[in-house]
Structure 1
Amino acid sequence: MTTPRLGPVRRVAVLADVHGNVPALLAVLDDVHAAGADLIVFPGDLTWGPEPQTTLDLILELGSKAVCVRGNADRAVVELARGEREHTRPRDPWMPAQHTPEAVEFLAALPLNVVIDIEGLGAVRFCHGSPRDDTECVTPQTSTERFAELSEGVDEQVIVTGHTHLQFDRLIAGRRSVNPGSVGLPYHLGMPGTAYWALLGPDVRLRETRYDVQEAVDRCRMTGDPSGDAIVGLLLNPPTPDEIIADAETRVFAD
C-alpha cells in the first residue's frame, strides 16, 4: 500500500489508541479544536473498545480533517469480520458485530504509515507499532540498535508511534521518537480519567486532558462488552509504565 503524504500544515493533533472510549475522545476533541489543529491524526486502534461504531462515527464527522492509520486492533476487526482470524477470546465475535459493513471497509482501507509535512518539524512519519509492523512495541527504553533497524529505509527524522499506550518524546538513533500516549486506555501514573495526546508544530507538545472516567465506566458496563470488566479495571487501575516497558521490551512484538 502506498504511503499517503500530506501537507505542509502548521499544526497537527495526534490522538492514538482511542479504543472505543467515547467520553475521553469527546473531551480531547474539545481541547484539540481549541488548539486550532489543522489536521487530527489517529495512529491506530480506533474502535477496539466498548463503543466501536460511535467512536468511528465521531471520527468520520471530522471529515477531511481526520487522518487515520491502521492499528493491529483495526486489522483484527477486519480479519474477524471476514472470517480470516480464529475466535480465541469472548470479545472476538462481539467486536466485529458492533461495526457496520461500511465501518469494516473503512478500517480495511487504512494505510500502515502516513507522512505529513509539519511546520517546524518537517516531514513526520505516523504509524501504529513501527514503520515496518503494526505490532512492534516502541518504548522509552527501546535500544538504539532496534530503533535503527525498525526505521531503516525511512527518510523522516521524526517518527510518531502508538500501540504501547505510553506517552514519551525522546531522541534515539539520530531521530526523534514520539508517542502521544493513549486517549482511551493509557498506561500511566496519573489520575484515572486522564487522556493523553500530542500537538505537533512547530515543536512537539505532549498534552493531557481530563474527562469523566465514571461516565466511561458506566457506558462500558452498559454495552455488553465481554471484556468490560477488564477495561474498567484498566481505566481505574492501569499498569505502570515500568511494567509495560519491561513486558514490551521482552516481547518486542505484541498483537
Structure 2
Amino acid sequence: MSNAPSIPAGYQPPAGLLAGRTILVTGAGSGLGRATALAAAKCGATVILLGRTTKKLEAVFDEIEAGGGPQAAILPMNLVSATWADLFEVAETIEREFGTLHGLVHCAAHFPGFTPITEEKPKDWMDGLQVNLTAAYALTRHCLPLMQQTPDASIVFVTDAVAREPKALRGGYGVAKYALEGLVKIWSQELSVTPGLRMNSYDPGALQTPLRAKGYVSEEVQKLPEAAIAAPGLIWLLGPDSAGVNGQALSRG
C-alpha cells in the first residue's frame, strides 16, 4: 500500500488522459455517476453507462456524443434486484463487446433517508446493503479477471464521510459504506500481487445530487457544489497519474 497519497489540489485532467481506456460507471444516470461518465468521456475514455433508468442513461449517452467523446454504451440494470448471475452477465458482455476493462467506478447508491437503525424498514435495510455493498462487491469480483489482464486498471468505490466517522440515523446506508472501507483495505492487500491493479475509496464530499436531496431540504442542497466538482478526483484515480496508489481512503480536497 502507498504511504499517505493525496489527490493533487486543483487537479484538472489533461486532454486525452483516458484515451483508449474502457471505463464502467455505475449509477451513471444522474449525480456523481453522470458527472464522472461525462468527465471520463471528455478525457477520451469509452464509457459503459450502468444504471436503473434507461431514459437517464440515454440522456448521458447523448451528452457524450454531443461533446465529441467516444461512443458510449448503455447497460440498464436495477441493482436492487440484480442477481449474482445478472452481474456475471455484465462482465461477460463487457468482455465480449469490448475485450477489456481499465476502470470501474461504483457511484450507484441507495439512501432512503435519515432513520434510526431500530426503525428502518426491513426492505430499506436489505436494499441498502444490496446496492451499496453486495452488488458492488459482486460486480467487482466478476470484472476482476478482465481487469487483471490490463497493465493499468483502477477500481474506485465512492464512499461517504459517515463511512470513516460513523454517525447516527444513517441506517443501512451508513453500515454499508462503513463496510466498504473495510472491504477496500482487505481486498486491496490481496490484489497487490497483481501489478498495475489498484483499488481505492473516494469521498466526494457533500454535493448537489438527488441522493443528497433525500436527506436534506432542497434549499440546503441547492447551496452545495454541483457533482462535477468531484469528478476530477475520480479521473485522477482512474488514470495513470495515480499509478501505485492502492488501498487508500481518499477525499476531495
Q: Do Structure 1 and Structure 2 share a fold, with TM-score over 0.5?
A: no
TM-score (norm 1): 0.33
Whose helix proportion is higher, 1 or 2?
2
Structure (1 or 2) with the greater strand fraction = 1
